[in-house]
Amino acid sequence: MTNDDKITIADDAVIHPGDLHEDFIRSSGPGGQNVNKVATAVQLRFDAANAQGLSDRVRERALKFAGQRATKDGVIVIEAGRFRTQEQNRADARARLTALVAKAAEPPPPPRKKTRPSKGAVERRLKTKAGRSTVKKLRGRVGDD
């Protein structure tokens, strides 16, 4: 994927390359001396608050799903350092951002249909309830006759 390709997720969710900013940082974890001199991890910043390709609904949901990865200014920061090369980490960061925005672009679930229990179900419930009540009453003390 080249830098000037826009990522189309849905009709109301398009990521333009101008909204993305990548910084290469040193990875943490094991790797010997190589980890101290090569910046292979990627810090991908996506300005969701000012992105033209997102609808208001998708923008709000994306920032909600981002959680702590979103700044107060509405910038989503994704760090990818799982792989040893910059290209793999870059692709990983973009894939994770795409998945986040795709999840935010999903249509809302249909509203719940209210249902009522059938007349027979209500009668059965009341019958068993009365049976339990009788059993519990019979557990009491035996009175003197």
Q: Tell me the per-residue pLDDT of 99-119, one tens digit each, with 9 for 90 and over.
A: 988 888 888 889 999 999 999
User: Which residues of the chain have a pLDDT value below 70?
Assistant: 1-4, 29-36, 144-145
| Rounded distance between C-alpha atoms, residue 101 and residue 42, angstroms | 19
Among 67, 125, 142, 73, smallest CA distance to 100 is for 67
| Tokens 């910038």 sit on residue | 75
Residues in contact with 12: Cβ distance below 8 Å, sequence separation at least 6, in sequence order = 54, 55, 57, 58, 105
Q: What is the CATH number of the domain that holds 96?
A: 3.30.160.20
Number of domains the chain is built from: 1
**Does residue 130 belong to any structural domain of this protein?**
no
Q: What is the predicted pLDDT for the residue at 1?
A: 46
**Does residue 90 belong to any structural domain of this protein?**
yes
Helices (H) and strands (E) in the chain, counts: 4, 5
Enter the pTM of the model: 0.66
